[in-house]
Chains A and B, each alone.
Chain A
Amino acid sequence: MTNRERYQTAFAGVRPPADTVQQALERQNTPARPRRRRLGRTLLVLAAAVALLTLTVSAEVTAGTVSNLLAPLYGGAQTELVDSIGYPVDASVTVNGYTLTAEAVIGDQYNVAMVYTLTREDGEPIPQGAHFQDSENSLHRGSGGGYVEYVREGLPDNQIQLVETWTGSGTLPFLRNVQVVFRDLVLYQEGEESTLLAEGEWELKYTARYRDATVSVPVDNLTVTGTEGKTYQIRKIQLSPLGIHMDIIAPNDIPKLGEPPEHAMRLLDDFTVSLQLSDGTVLPVGDANRGGSGSADDETIKAHYGALFDQPIPLEDISALIICGTQVPVNAG
C-alpha cells in the first residue's frame, strides 16, 4: 500500500455534518444572526481533565465576578482560580454612539489578557465583521505578541466583546496604570475595502491590578534537543496558572540580510513544550510567542518562548513540563 493510500484510509472518517446545507441556508437567510463559535466540547474536555483547587477569594471582589467578566476568555472554567488572580476594571468611554467598557484583567509576569464590551447605544445591531482598525496598549511594551478576538456568542445584537491578549518577551509592568486606545470602528467584508462605521479614538485608563502567581521552575544546566536536532539551553522557566515563559540560548536562526522572509520561521521552529498534569494528561502548548536577538555572526542567540494557556491550570496540577521530549519536574506544590 502506498503512503497516499494509507493517508486516504486514515482520513476516510472525516465527514462534515449531514445538515450542513440546511445550516448554510439558515445562515444565508438570517444574515444578522451572530456567528456562533461553539467552544463547548474542547473546553469541557480540558476542564474535566483538571481538578479544581479551593482558594480564598479576595474580600474586595464578590465571588464569581471576575470569572463571569472573563468568561469570553476562559469560557467560565476554573472560576475560583480566575477570581483569585483576575481583577474587575469597569472603565468606560463613549465615542460616536459606541461605548467601550474595560471589564476585567488577568495576567502574570509575562502575559496579560483583558475583556472589553462594545455597546451600540442606539440599540441597533453591530454588523458582523465589525472591528477596530487598530489599537495601542501601554502594557504591550517591547517585543512580544498577542491578538484581539471579537466574540458575539450569547450577546444581544448591539454588543460585541473583545478579548485582548499579550505575551511579552520581558516582564510586564503590572500594578501600574495602563492606557489603551482603540481607533476607528470599521466593517470588513470579503474581497472589499473596509467600511468606516464609527470614526474616533476610544481611550481607557485602568490599573492592571491582577495577582501575579508566577513561580520559577528549577533548571540546572538543562539542555534539550528539538525535533530537527537543534540544541537549546534553557536558562530560565517562569510558570504561572495562566502561562509560561522561558529564556533560552538557541542556535542563531535569525534571517540574514537578503534571505527570503520565510526563513524567519526557523527560530525555535522545532522547539516543543507540553504540560504534564498530575492525572497523566499531556497538554501541548500550541500558539506561542518566540523571538530572539543577537549578532548575525554569533552561533547562538538569546531567545525567548512564551505562551498564554488556553485555560488556567492550578500549579499544583502541573507535575512536569515536557520540553523537546525532556521531562522537567515542576516543584510548585
Chain B
Amino acid sequence: MDLRESPDTLKFRAEAAAFVAARLPADIRAKVLGFLRVEREDYVRWQRILYEQGWGAPGWPREHGGTGWDARQRTIFDEECFIAGAPRQMPFGLSMVGPVLQAFGTEQQKSRFLPRILTMEDWWCQGYSEPGAGSDLASLTTRAERRDDVYIVNGQKTWTSFAQWANWIFCLVRTRTTGKPQEGISFLLIDMTTPGVRVKPIRTLDQGADVNEVFLDDVSVPVSNLVGEENRGWTIAKFLLGHERTNIAGIGMCKRLLHRLKDVARSETKHGKPLIEDTRFRDRIVKVEIDVRSHEWSLMRVISLEQAGKPVGAEASILKIRGSEIQQEIAELLMECAGPYALPYLPQALDAHFAGETAGGASLNGLAAQYLDLRKVSIYGGTNEVQKNLIARAVLGL
C-alpha cells in the first residue's frame, strides 16, 4: 500500500490544469461558473479544442483516437476541467455509444461513427427509458420489426437528454416478444432526421427543457445499424453499466460546487459579516467538505480496484449515491446563501445574452436553477433506492 500521489500524477495534474486555464474560452467559462445556460455550440467548441490537443476522448484507447490515459489520469483531468469551469464532455457519444461500438460494432460502424464522436459532428442521445420502463428497463416495449434489410421501429422513448440537439439516437428496442424480456432486446442506431422521429421537449422544474420525449412512428432503420447480434442488446446495456463506473461519482461536479459554495458564502453577508464566518453556516460547509474529501478517497480506492483488474460492484453504487447526495446538499446550501434572494427566479436570465434585470443579480438567480436541476442526480442512472437494493444484495447475499 502506498498512499502517496506519485510525482507523475502530480505533474499530470499540473499539465491538465495549465492546459484548461490557457485554452478554455472565457465566455464559456463564465457561463458554466455563473450557472448560466451552456449552448450546443459551446459544448462543441470546447470538444473541438480538446480534440485538437489529442484529448478529445480521455476514456478511449489510442487506436480509436483516445488518450490512452489510465483511470486515475482520467479523473484528474475531469476534476481539473470541472474546477476550471469547462462544460462537461457529453457522455452519450464518448462514454456510451463510443465504447459500445468499440466493443461490439462492425468495422464499418466504427469507421463511420467514431471519428464523428471525437469531433462532435454527431450529437448522440440515449433512447433507453420509456413511459412504462424506468427502473425496470427490461420491460421496454418499443418494437423493431425486421422487413428485408430494414427495421420498422414504433414506440416512445422518454427522459432523453439533449434530444433537441441530437442527430443520432442509440436505442434499446424489442425485437422479440416471446421468452425472457431481457432476451428480446436489440441495440439500434437511429438517424434522427429519418421520417417518423419526433422530439417533444419536457419542461422541467427549472423551466428548462433539456429532456425530451422521442416518438418513433414507422421509422425505417437500415439493418446495418444494428449493433451486435439481434436480441443481444441487453448484454450491451449491461456492458455499458459496467463501463467507466467511476464517472458516476461526479467528483468534478462535487468539487466545482464546493468551490462555488465557499465563494458565495464569502461574498454574501449575515449580521454584517461574511456568511462563511457564521458558525452555524460554517459547520454545514465543513460537513459537506468533509464528505467531498471522503468521497474523493473512496473514488481513488475504486479506481485502484479497477486498475488491479478486480470487479467493481456495490462500490460503484456507493459512489453514485454519495456523489448525488453531496451535489444535492451543496446545491441546497448554495441556494440558502442567497437568503431571501433565493425566492425571485427568472429562467430567461439563465441565457448569457439576457440584458434585463434580476432581483438579486445574475449569480444568485442561477442558484435556484442549479438546486432544482440537481434533484435529478439521485433519480437518473439507476435511482439511489435501486442502488441501495444492489448494495444490500452484495452485502447480504440474499
Say whether A and B bind each other.
no
Using a CB–CB distance below 8 Å, which chain B residues touch chain A?
none
